[in-house]
Structure 1
């Protein structure tokens, strides 16, 4: 923020302006900050009016409410509209463990602050600004799915953009957690990080637990408790600095006492504990694959990432299944040519892909003693939007803003090194929420298109592709999320389900497929509909914010009409009764005194 606005914000300290409007005389201001110190038993309402073709983003970057109050008795409620009767976008209270951010889809946004009767200090810092959803900031957020990687703020090491809200979603494989290292953070310094900040969340969304909210010049490190992490950069309109540079790595999270095997569609991953090796007087330097040039990664464990088409992996087709096998040998320098006092240890890893599952099998041979371990795995799939039907440039923006009826190109990718597998789109559907609760709209079902604008592309190896025209759900503030269920088949099996195409009434067994997997993408939001003032566009989250409202359907309309008719009948009967009653009575003028 600029100096003038901060002085203005400080002048607000100690004051509580109830039912004040931020519109009216301030309608032309593109951004504004509020510092509110609230009293007990308050009920204050503010309304923000946006200019035409703009959206409103409001950020509660720092708030201190009564820590002992319940969310019902003390909270901040945010509504999409000009009053508290509008749809509820969400609430903020002392129990929230995240930085609340809301976006409007109508002409106005209203927030209401209610406090209880406790005499405690309450401070709320609020910053809002108008923005154009169709104007995107390059390299602002996206999805990071590798086991390790790096990313920076937009323009780094140059000054970061103003009024930016960038979200990076990091997702690694199951069984791992994430270690995030910031090589540099250079943002505006503030004790509470109210103006420019980086927020790190322990999970897949901005509603996950907050690991930290940082600013200034620091180099923090964060570690997740699961296989996902979310990073947010939020900036105001002044005092831009270098931003940040970060890298992340995956750490094996599970407690491994001996060995474990995980099979995926592109690799076998073997984890060996160091204590297990030490029990045989071995270390990681004694381990060797069929191809000795393939070396493990050593961290808190010893990890082999073995590609299915490399490092000496042997592939064998057996009926409808395919197996991939490799051998890890523990070698040591013999003490003589005749004897040894070390056990000979072999770990035989084997992944078997069956009709409808992926079975993992590991043999550990220890002086002719075989130990077996079994587990389940899955094919690695992902889904992304692309700029055109050439499917060359994926779109990384999250959320992605589109025009109503704009053609969207979607690709589901299978990440595998086996060239003899194909992807078939069995079912693809859309929902207004990330948990795919009602309402649901089918685009593809049983391989058949159910939407008139939907077109499915022919089988193309590791890719399932389709296109459709963007739409919005009626009476819904949520974003649009897509979910596809795919089948993975052997391309040489011409009788497989993948080669059957559209089957509207499928028999119970219509030949084989190898795996069924789900892919989800979203949210997709509509840009402002310029032809209709006040019409709402789509609203985000990877994890939707606020309360969902059910559509106003035909049953509701019929109930309303019946209720209105009953009111009319009751009113007519009452009027007749009143008229008749008046006709039966005689009136006498009172005598004056």
Structure 2
């Protein structure tokens, strides 16, 4: 009964897919120059199948309801494979016309699934094709969504050398209208092997409706390794130390989703040993052939704590926690170091003499801001390696819903009201429990490069804003709150940057213990345990009174340029009448130019 059951299930999947496809084609099939009749604002989504001809040149605009954003997904694009991006492309603009900011350009050279999100209330597509007489097909799916709502388990950051993750609600049906992004980042010198244990999505030959996209890099603009849907259990492998996985779903036919796991594969050539220092561990790689040259193998290795064993693959790898496995911590002269020793044990050939060299590797991490050095000493009889590397602590910054700091806000950008209280936490990710985080300086800027202007919230541990409140030291977390503001004569986006100091909690003379110092006795700019965290953008919600009403959605392109009616002729002078005459003449010229050009603005 198992085989007939699978056949019936496959038939149901294909039938549901064809039903949706036929429905989509019925409502959305159109050429570029045909009128679509406008999108119903009561609909939260729409799918379009476009069959483009040669020499197309048209422009469409999508309007969103109030307090919503637009996400458009070009899940299938078939343009002229020999066409150049300059002569055949689809450009997407953030705004009601092609004068808005360009979000991106789609052409046959793209090696990813284009996805665009608006920050304004409109999104504009400009489609241009060359003279080649071939059929072109484009599938566009767009929907309205709110940054204020999030789907639990939808995306995230995976930084361990191995791990697993699933689609939201797995093994129950995945949510509708979801766009989830997982970023996998492992240590330098590793590649990532991604194994899908199960994929159960809607079936489609081009994976237009529900799909998983895997990118060979740290973003969705990296090279596309593969796009899959339906049922299967594929495996992918990255060419570097990062991988990005995307799940995109539409509004119908939800199934189990997926379950996946990943592992790291060491790829760099190691002649002897290598050491890297992370915020929570030391990582030592030893080449097997190097061990064999001394007559040893992985079974002869041990740390200060013999119960901590290495991971063996094509190399021997020790992941040594900073507070376990016999690691020794030392604090002196504003420096924290972590040391452990790898020794090689073997039975002596005689109780009196030996001809086998004794190999000992001393690994030492000194935590500083940013740099790496390695030193090795070799003696004539015994071989002693001293591996020393400089590392930096891993910190991150996030907004929270309340002063309990329990639920981090995952939306980016995060939309807030003016004067709304914001709760900020800088976190130190380390296994050393005896460290504290001190907020030295926090400032705001309207741009991510923190060029002028900037505004200080905290300086030298002291609050510089009347609404800013700095919380007491709290272990691995530095916390403060302030009321939201915007920069004059700038965009409504605000970025936050904090410089933090990391100290040993048992050191009463550390800078962290001094707290607010308005006039410092000495400069601590060279303090070793500094780390920078950046958060943003934080954006202001659009003023409801300035958003207009629904009548604005039905104005024509020419109506948007017309002036408002008179409130009373007695309020206007002859100068105003002359100005209106100029405006009318400008509108007439603009209409004449629009009739002469190939551009057509059609409301979706």
- Residues 356 and 81 of structure 1, relative CA distance in 2, 3 Å threshold: closer
Match of 1:179 among 180, 187, 193: 193
In the alignment, what sits opposite 1:283?
Answer: 297
**SS state of the match for residue 289, structure 2?**
helix
Distance 1:281 1:504 in 2: 61
In the alignment, what sits opposite 1:266?
Answer: 280
Scaled by the length of structure 2, the TM-score of the pair is 0.79
Distance 1:439 1:99 in 2: 37
- Residues 274 and 237 of structure 1, relative CA distance in 2, 3 Å threshold: same
Distance 1:232 1:519 in 2: 26
Q: Once the two structures are superposed, what CA deviation does each residue of 1:425-481 show, in whole Å capped at 9, x if it has no partner?
A: 233344566565677655444444455443322222322112233456678789655
Q: Tell whether the 8 Å contact from 1:486 to 1:518 is kept in structure 2 after alignment.
A: yes
Residue correspondence of structure 1 range 376-387 to structure 2 within 5 A: 376-387=390-401
**SS state of the match for residue 6, structure 1?**
helix
In the alignment, what sits opposite 1:77?
Answer: 91
Q: Once the two structures are superposed, what CA deviation does each residue of 1:76-118 show, in whole Å capped at 9, x if it has no partner?
A: 1122333323333322222322211112233332211112223
Q: Which moved more, 1:473-482 or 1:339-348?
A: 473-482
**SS state of the match for residue 460, structure 1?**
coil
Q: Once the 2 structures are TM-superposed, how far is the Cα of residue 127 of structure 1 from its aligned partner?
A: 0.6
Distance 2:17 2:487 in 1: 40
- 1:23 matched to 2:38? The reply is yes
- 1:92 matched to 2:106? The reply is yes
Q: Once the two structures are superposed, what CA deviation does each residue of 1:517-536 show, in whole Å capped at 9, x if it has no partner?
A: 2223445555665454269x
Q: Once the two structures are superposed, what CA deviation does each residue of 1:315-339 show, in whole Å capped at 9, x if it has no partner?
A: 3344443433221111223445455
Match of 1:230 among 244, 261, 266: 244
Q: Give 5+ residue unaligned stretches, structure 2.
A: 1-15, 550-577, 583-604
- Residues 42 and 90 of structure 1, relative CA distance in 2, 3 Å threshold: same
Q: Once the two structures are superposed, what CA deviation does each residue of 1:403-434 show, in whole Å capped at 9, x if it has no partner?
A: 55443322222233434432222333445665
Q: Give 5+ residue unaligned stretches, structure 1.
A: 536-566, 572-593
In the alignment, what sits opposite 1:45?
Answer: 59
- 1:533 matched to 2:547? The reply is yes
Distance 1:302 1:415 in 2: 26
Distance 2:213 2:451 in 1: 29
Distance 1:453 1:67 in 2: 57
Q: Once the 2 structures are TM-superposed, how far is the Cα of residue 362 of structure 1 from its aligned partner?
A: 6.0
Distance 1:329 1:273 in 2: 15
Q: Tell whether the 8 Å contact from 2:32 to 2:127 is kept in structure 1 after alignment.
A: no
In the alignment, what sits opposite 2:156?
Answer: 142
Distance 1:476 1:193 in 2: 42
Match of 2:168 among 154, 158, 172: 154
Q: Tell whether the 8 Å contact from 1:347 to 1:362 is kept in structure 2 after alignment.
A: no
- Residues 358 and 63 of structure 1, relative CA distance in 2, 3 Å threshold: closer
Residue correspondence of structure 1 range 201-216 to structure 2 within 5 A: 201-216=215-230
Residue correspondence of structure 1 range 231-250 to structure 2 within 5 A: 231-250=245-264
Match of 1:293 among 307, 328, 347: 307
Match of 1:520 among 498, 516, 534: 534
Scaled by the length of structure 1, the TM-score of the pair is 0.80
Q: Tell whether the 8 Å contact from 2:448 to 2:495 is kept in structure 1 after alignment.
A: yes
Residue correspondence of structure 1 range 474-513 to structure 2 within 5 A: 481-502=495-516, 509-510=523-524, 513=527
Q: Once the two structures are superposed, what CA deviation does each residue of 1:49-68 show, in whole Å capped at 9, x if it has no partner?
A: 32333322111111122334
Q: Once the 2 structures are TM-superposed, how far is the Cα of residue 19 of structure 1 from its aligned partner?
A: 6.9
Q: Once the 2 structures are TM-superposed, how far is the Cα of residue 163 of structure 1 from its aligned partner?
A: 0.7
Q: Once the 2 structures are TM-superposed, how far is the Cα of residue 284 of structure 1 from its aligned partner?
A: 1.1
- 1:56 matched to 2:56? The reply is no
Distance 2:140 2:490 in 1: 26
Q: Tell whether the 8 Å contact from 2:211 to 2:228 is kept in structure 1 after alignment.
A: yes
Q: Which moved more, 1:146-155 or 1:9-18?
A: 9-18
Q: Once the two structures are superposed, what CA deviation does each residue of 1:535-554 show, in whole Å capped at 9, x if it has no partner?
A: 9xxxxxxxxxxxxxxxxxxx
**SS state of the match for residue 48, structure 2?**
strand
Q: Once the 2 structures are TM-superposed, how far is the Cα of residue 160 of structure 1 from its aligned partner?
A: 0.4
Match of 1:127 among 116, 120, 141: 141
Q: Tell whether the 8 Å contact from 1:15 to 1:36 is kept in structure 2 after alignment.
A: yes
Q: Tell whether the 8 Å contact from 2:365 to 2:389 is kept in structure 1 after alignment.
A: no
Q: Once the 2 structures are TM-superposed, how far is the Cα of residue 164 of structure 1 from its aligned partner?
A: 0.8
**SS state of the match for residue 146, structure 1?**
coil
Distance 2:17 2:505 in 1: 62
In the alignment, what sits opposite 2:470?
Answer: 456
Q: Which moved more, 1:31-40 or 1:102-111?
A: 102-111
**SS state of the match for residue 512, structure 2?**
helix
Q: Which moved more, 1:401-410 or 1:306-315?
A: 401-410
**SS state of the match for residue 7, structure 1?**
helix
Distance 1:494 1:178 in 2: 44
- Residues 473 and 63 of structure 1, relative CA distance in 2, 3 Å threshold: farther
Q: Once the 2 structures are TM-superposed, how far is the Cα of residue 139 of structure 1 from its aligned partner?
A: 1.6
Q: Over aligned residue pairs, what C-alpha RMSD do you find?
A: 3.5
Distance 2:77 2:332 in 1: 63
- Residues 28 and 420 of structure 1, relative CA distance in 2, 3 Å threshold: closer
- 1:66 matched to 2:69? The reply is no
Q: Once the two structures are superposed, what CA deviation does each residue of 1:272-306 show, in whole Å capped at 9, x if it has no partner?
A: 11221122232211111111101011223211112
Q: Once the 2 structures are TM-superposed, how far is the Cα of residue 134 of structure 1 from its aligned partner?
A: 2.1
Q: Once the two structures are superposed, what CA deviation does each residue of 1:386-411 show, in whole Å capped at 9, x if it has no partner?
A: 33222233344556555554433222
- Residues 97 and 425 of structure 1, relative CA distance in 2, 3 Å threshold: farther
